[in-house]
Structure 1
Amino acid sequence: MGRGMAEVAPPATPTVLEQFGYELKQMLGHSTYGKVYKAVACQQRAQVAIKVISKRKTPEEYLRELLPHHIQDVILRLLCPASQRLSAQELLQTPWVSRFLPPGPLGDLPSATEAPET
């Protein structure tokens, strides 16, 4: 990325992320509402990328409506690599359904014939 991208993480941000076990290293890039940093997940000693979004600079509508969809998209791509190869239309036309369940003992898993609670 460009020359200005080697920016060090802002001093206030690491305090919050350190509580979750991350240490920001340097800025990798930026978008309209946030910046992406190279970071280290301290417990796993793994390099990660973290996008820090400024709630002060971001419109309420984006935080309420669009951000959850972006987060869901990232999670689906990480947990279900096949979703990277299929378009939304193709996913709707497939004969199978994926459902993400909270962690728990195997005995708590609903059977394939049970309808999910709404």
Structure 2
Amino acid sequence: MMRVLLIEDHPADVLLLQASLELIGLEWTLDDAPTFAEAARRWPGGNFGMLVLDLNLPDGHGLELLARALELASGTPVVVLSGLANREVAAQAVGLGARAYVIKGLDAAEELQQIVAQFA
């Protein structure tokens, strides 16, 4: 079973994603960190198979934060999970190296489940 690290600072978004995943049948373990700094502390030795990143955190935002996440994950798939439905930002994120750009909401869990299945 793959371990996925979700970097998300809004507890309601974490709970929504966890509840949605339970409804569709979770095939991976979701850990969460509220800041990039916390995720960076937990990443080494965490044996994570994927990193899922919100682009708006207390200690970073936007594509600069994605660049930091790609460096941290170094070869591990990084997926952006965002509340911003912006095709230009999504294209830039994928261009920088994100494997996907997923919009937060009820469908996010299904999309993430499909992405994880590709890399499991």
**Which has the larger share of helix?**
2
Report 1 or 2 for greater relative contact order, CA contacts < 8 Å, sequence distance ≥ 6. Answer: 2
Shorter-chain TM-score above 0.5 = no
TM-score, normalised by the number of residues in structure 2: 0.29
